[in-house]
């Protein structure tokens, strides 16, 4: 079996190729992809070749970890196994897929940008059909949820009083903060084009803010040069949460951090229970994913889609339409 996939052949070199799919194994499901999103964080670093080295990194690769589609073949199990009795994903279900290892002859980092995927059933989360393409936002929403709650694995963290950045992740983090019942945060945004679209919280330019007593500042900008300035805005004992993805080493001046007894926390990748938690918030109507997808292009214009996603400040989230 073969399927189309977006391939980064090398940094800033993209093609759409027809690639062989992995063999179906017990527990796998087959998914017809409808939409996939372009991440302006980690995927940008893969695109421009600035991703810090990690095991398995290399080109050519299939990117993508924000994918939704419809199940066209349910899981196959070995006869008389316990899994066969607990199979929950059925043909026709709409699911979110956080990447895959579907494609042969390339690296799958993260392997979700394809027209058809074969993945283990337990890797996906069922989503409501009426969410449509908005379901691709669940990965970012889960990341935001994890930064605030660590997925319920510890006592809840101090919620953000200040969020740095009003892209799609900053907006989702602000919405999740409100959905969890915390006070409305302030959001900083330097680009005028991105200061609109807030509901229930305020967005201002950093120069308009004179506060230096924030208990918790969450940075989603990915800008490694901001840390010293953010530490200077903390109350004694306050915390800076690094919730973006940073391609450069981060350092800070010790004396100001010492005087404030500043805490610095790194928020890692979401877990499946985070994904389920935000799915439940969306299903209950507590969390809205509306007005975050600003651009959609067919896979035949994939090159243009990536250039726009990474170069246009008006583009919050670019969607690839695999059904066009």
Model confidence pLDDT, tens digit, residues 100-123? 999 999 999 999 999 999 999 988
Domain shared by 29 and 120, yes or no = yes
3-state secondary structure of 34: strand
Domain shared by 163 and 258, yes or no = yes
Weakest-pLDDT range from 101-115, 154-168, 172-186, 230-244: 154-168
Q: Is residue 286 part of a domain?
A: no
User: On the CB side of 36, how many CA atoms lie within 13 Å of its CA?
Assistant: 32
Domain shared by 154 and 203, yes or no = yes
Per the structure, the complete domain to which residue 18 belongs is given by 2-127+294-321
Q: Is the pLDDT of residue 155 over 60?
A: no
Q: Is residue 298 part of a domain?
A: yes
Phi/psi at 34 (nearest 5 deg)? -105, -40
For tokens 């893969």, the residue is 46
CATH code (residue 223): 3.40.50.720
Question: What is the tens place of the pLDDT at every residue in 202-212?
Answer: 999 999 999 99
Domain shared by 36 and 60, yes or no = yes
Domain shared by 226 and 300, yes or no = no
In whole angstroms, give the CA distance from residue 202 to residue 204.
7
In whole angstroms, give the CA distance from residue 201 to residue 219.
16
| Partners of 125 in beta bridges | 96
Q: Is residue 304 part of a domain?
A: yes
């Amino acid at each position: 079996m073969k399927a189309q996939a977006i391939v980064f052949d090398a940094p800033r070199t993209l093609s759409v190729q027809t690639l062989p799919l992995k063999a179906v194994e017990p527990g796998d499901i087959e998914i017809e992809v409808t939409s996939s999103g372009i991440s302006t964080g980690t995927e940008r670093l893969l695109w421009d070749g600035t991703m810090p080295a990690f095991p398995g990194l290399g080109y050519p690769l299939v990117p993508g970890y924000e994918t939704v589609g419809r199940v066209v073949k349910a899981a196959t199990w070995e006869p008389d196994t316990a899994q066969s009795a607990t199979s929950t994903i059925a043909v026709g279900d709409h699911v979110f897929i956080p990447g895959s290892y579907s494609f042969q002859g390339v690296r799958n980092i993260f392997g979700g940008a394809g027209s058809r995927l074969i993945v283990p059933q337990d890797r996906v989360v069922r989503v409501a059909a009426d969410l449509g393409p908005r379901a691709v936002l669940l990965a970012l929403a889960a990341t935001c949820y994890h930064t605030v709650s660590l997925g319920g694995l510890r006592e809840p963290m101090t919620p953000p009083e200040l969020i740095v950045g009003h892209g799609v992740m900053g907006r989702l983090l602000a919405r999740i903060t409100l959905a969890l019942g915390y006070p409305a945060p302030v959001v900083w945004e330097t680009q005028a084009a991105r200061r609109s679209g807030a509901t229930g919280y305020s967005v201002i330019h950093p120069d308009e803010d004179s506060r230096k007593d924030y208990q918790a500042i969450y940075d989603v900008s990915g800008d490694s040069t901001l840390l010293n300035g953010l530490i200077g805005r903390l109350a004694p004992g306050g915390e800076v949460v690094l919730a973006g993805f940073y391609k450069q080493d981060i350092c800070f001046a010790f004396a100001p951090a010492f005087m404030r007894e500043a805490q610095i926390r790194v928020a890692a990748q979401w877990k499946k229970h985070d994904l389920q938690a935000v799915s439940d918030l969306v299903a209950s109507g507590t969390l809205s994913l509306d007005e975050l997808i600003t651009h959609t292009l067919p896979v035949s214009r994939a090159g243009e889609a990536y250039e726009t996603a990474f170069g246009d400040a008006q583009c919050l989230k670019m969607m690839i339409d695999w059904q066009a």
